[in-house]
Structure 1
Amino acid sequence: MKEQLAEAFNNLIDKLKGWFNTIIEYLPNFVLAILVLITAYFIAKYVNKATKKIVDKKVQDESVSGMISRITAVIVVLAGLFLALGIMNLNQALTSLLAGAGVAGLAIGLALQGTLSNTISGIILSFRKKIQIGNWVETNGFSGEVMDINMKDFTLKEADNNIVVIPNKKILENPLKNYSLTTKMRVFIECGVGYESDLEKVESLTKEVIAKTFDQVEKPEDVEFYYTEFGNSSINYLCRFWIDAESMLEKLRAKTKAIIEIKKAYDKEGINIPFPIRTLKFDNELAFNNPVEFEKISKN
């Protein structure tokens, strides 16, 4: 019994000596690895702040800039961790860590495919100079002012003050019309005048009214005027002109003002704007005095 205890004690001493020798052998590498991790941590903090300052100049959304800066910091820390593991000759652990990270990343990516798609789309939209907060845009069947671009969705405020939230993925996959990229918008007015009207007078009067109403239209010749068709009750025309505007609300206000002034001018000059009229004419007289005919009509 004593011999077994002595043998076990000797084995323990040998193990401890082996561990101690290993620690002494790898102590410089361990210290160097710790220094690498500490250095990577401080570099990550600096990179985080520097990246945030750079991104803030191009992206207005705080959440997007914060996420990008944090991702950059995490990459720096992971690089330091891998370097430290390599210094300590833990190549097998490093390989296992990379494999595990790859499998976990694939599983998370499949589980959060929609969320990650919207997140990446939000980052892309935040860097697009042609889409900024405050722009008036039209996309996915909605039109309004861009109120927010974050990591999940794209927020619009329509002209009726309703808020529309659209997933970022939908914005990238569908066409988007940005009215704020240009300082001019074209107003279209379609109307009709009676067949008895002097068409040349209608054209010149309409152009003069538009030129007097809007400062952006310097002269009547700048107004485009085209007769388009012989309608059922009127001769129809299309009038269009340019105004200084960056939103659909300004365009609608200008169109409303133009319609009011054109109507006033037409009323003053006696120009008729007809509305559809249907005339029913009966050429035959119904013979109600004939009992046979009256009976047929009653049955029908």
Structure 2
Amino acid sequence: MSRLTPKPVLRLYLLVVLLLASALASDPLAYAEVTLVDPATADIGTDTTGATDAAVATQIRNVFSRIESLQQVDVESVHGVVVLSGFVPNEASAVRAVEIASRMRGVVAVEDTTDRTFTLRENAAPLLTSFAQRVESWMKATPLLLAAIALFASVSFVAHRIAVWDDLWSRLTPNPFLAQLASQAVRLAGVVLALVLALNLLGASALTGTILGSAGVVGLAISFGVKDSIENYISSIMLSIRQPFRAQDHVVINEFEGLVIRLTSRSTVLMTLDGNHVRIPNAIVYKSPILNYTRNPQRRLEFVLGVDPAYDPAEAMRVGAETLLGLDWVLAEPDPLAVIESVGDSTILIKFMAWIDQRETDFGKARSLCIRATKNALEEQGFGLPEPTYRLKLSQPLPHLPDAPQAPSSEPEPAAMKPAATASDVPGEMDVAPETHLNEKVREEIALTAEEDLLDSSRPVE
């Protein structure tokens, strides 16, 4: 930033001083003290000296003669005390007469002795006159009012036509929910613009600011009241943009599991595995973890079997894995796997894991038959699958118990190894084909219901 040299600064100061001096020289009273007077309480009159009682009374009568409701009021003034008498139509007229008289210069006090007539004609006449004047003013303003209405209607109509221009919004945004939101915003903006233009045409520009300010305050108050609805609405926008799942996907949202039917502007609709409908607010969907079983067609199943500790668990793991690998619906890649999960007093828990293709195999059926085949294979190979055993420790021996027979040796006889079970061991009538009944119900629901769906199969999934 450049700095002023001393000479330009001095010249600027001299210029300001000259301007002030010229202003004071041209009008020395311009800067005198000014006292603002309220017109409603200002004194009426032009001369503050020599104001006689007669002059004051005459001045008040002249004022009252110009007011229809005070024309029957008599005025007397004695030593600055004004006495009002006569007739007034109502209390408001009496109060008005006292206010006018008290504002006259030279008046010390006002005494009201007027009588209130309360006649219908005198009280109704001002109302009728005011109504007639209003009607006349409205008649005069009719062309301008019609022009303002026409302007409001024209601008609103243009905004409405733009808002319903579906081809335009579909090109601007492929998301139908965002397109609807944008069209509503254009329609609302058009109405506000039309209202502002119409009010300005009527000369009520000050009213425009008042209306917009009030609308802002009301909108802020409403936003606090419908905070949850606004949060749900914004969540719907984000979900429609993200596309976290597709229709008919098998998902788990919060504690709800089922197939996705549709995503609306308010909720996500699922069909549970038992055929019921559940609507989850989009605010909950957006904030909750979503488990999607359909996204990856390959899914791992697992189960646990207990083997007697007396047998080699490694051999049991080998037999179980070979049995799973021999099943037609189990994928060879990745290989079936078995691991020891825990060792107890009466059993060794072995976890078996295998992968299936959900497009060709039902998860529940496959898991059940895998458990059955592995269990049979282990038993055929001589492995024991013991039941849980509990040991009881007694502080004192029980009386009158016969001698227990000699327990056999706990060393098991070597198990005769047999070939591992294969898929042929599973009965043919127990197929593992995926169940399509629930998917058919979902497709029927989608086809029969005309409710909006924000899920777009043409857009990429998040």
TM-score, reference length from structure 1: 0.70
- Alpha-carbon distance, 1:137 to partner: 1.8
**In the alignment, which residue of structure 2 is the partner of 1:294?**
none
More helix by share: 1
Give the secondary structure class of the aligned counterpart of 1:127: helix
**What is the aligned counterpart of 2:169 among 27, 47, 51?**
51
Percentage of identical aligned residues: 22
State how far apart, in whole Å, the 2-side matches of 1:273 and 1:54 are. Answer: 66
Distance 1:134 1:146 in 2: 5
Q: Residue 232 of structure 1 corresponds to which residue in structure 2? A: 345
Equivalent positions of 1:81-92 (< 5 A) are: 81=194, 84-85=197-198, 88=201, 90-92=204-206
SS at match of 1:181: coil
1:39 alignment partner in structure 2: 158
Match of 2:409 in 1: none
2:253 aligned partner = 139
Q: What per-residue deviation string (whole Å, max 9, x for no partner) do you get for residues 195-248 of structure 1?
A: 2323332122211121122445226x72222112222311112222332238xx
Contact map agreement 2:317 2:338 (CA 8 A) in 1: yes
2:385 aligned residue: 273
Partner Cα separation in structure 1 for residue 296 and residue 373 of structure 2: 26
Deviation at 1:150, TM superposition (A): 2.4
2:450 equivalent in structure 1: none
The residue that corresponds to 2:311 in the other structure is 197
Change (3 A) 1:229 1:111: closer
Contact 1:137 1:144 in 2 (8 A): yes
Contact 2:152 2:195 in 1 (8 A): no
Deviation at 1:66, TM superposition (A): 8.2
Q: Distance in 1 between matches of 2:220 and 2:337?
A: 59
C-alpha contact (below 8 Å) 1:135/1:178 kept by paired residues: yes
Q: How does 1:1-300 map to 2 (within 5 A)?
A: 35-46=154-165, 48=166, 50-51=168-169, 57-58=174-175, 64=177, 68=181, 70-78=183-191, 80-81=193-194, 84-85=197-198, 88=201, 90-215=204-329, 217-218=331-332, 222-245=335-358, 250-278=362-390, 284=397, 286=399
Question: Residue 23 of structure 1: CA displacement?
Answer: 6.5
Alpha-carbon RMSD: 3.9
Question: Does the 8 Å contact 2:223/2:230 carry over to 1?
Answer: yes
Report Cα offsets for 1:28-80 as digits up to 9, x if no partner: 9997776544433322332x55436776x545xxxx57853652442352354
Give distance in 1, aligned partners of 2:272 and 2:148.
Answer: 63
Counterpart secondary structure, 1:98: helix
Alpha-carbon shift at residue 86 of structure 1 (Å): 7.9
Aligned-pair CA distance for 1:82: 5.4
TM-score normalised by length of structure 2: 0.48
Q: Structure 2: state its 5+ residue gaps.
A: 1-67, 69-128, 402-462
Task: Note the C-alpha offset of 1:252.
Answer: 2.8
Residue range with higher mean Cα deviation, 119-128 or 267-276:
119-128
Q: 2:274 and 2:254 mapped to 1: Cα distance?
A: 17
SS of structure 2 residue aligned to 1:146: strand
- Residue type of the partner of 2:389? I
Matched with 1:298 is none
Q: Rg bigger for which structure?
A: 2
Q: Tell me, in whole angstroms, the C-alpha distance in 1 between the residues paired with 2:304 and 2:215.
A: 63
Q: Is the 8 A contact 1:146 1:155 kept in 2?
A: yes
Give the superposition deviation at 1:106.
Answer: 2.3
Amino acid of the structure 2 residue aligned with 1:161: G
Q: Identify if the C-alpha distance between structure 1 residues 206 and 58 changes in structure 2 by more than 3 Å, giving closer, same or farther.
A: farther
Cα distance change on mapping 1:140 and 1:35 into 2, 3 Å: closer
Give the deviation of 1:262 after TM superposition: 0.8
Cα distance in 2 for partners of 1:27, 1:284 equals 110
Structure 1 residues 186, 112: CA separation in 2 closer, same or farther (over 3 Å shift)? same
Structure 1 unaligned spans of 5+: 289-300
Partners of 2:170 and 2:207 lie apart in 1 by: 33
Q: Judging changes above 3 Å, is the alpha-carbon distance between structure 1 residues 119 and 229 closer, same or farther for their aligned structure 2 residues?
A: same
Sort the Cα spacing of 1:91 and 1:242 in 2 relative to 1 into closer, same or farther, 3 A.
farther
SS of corresponding position for 1:270: coil
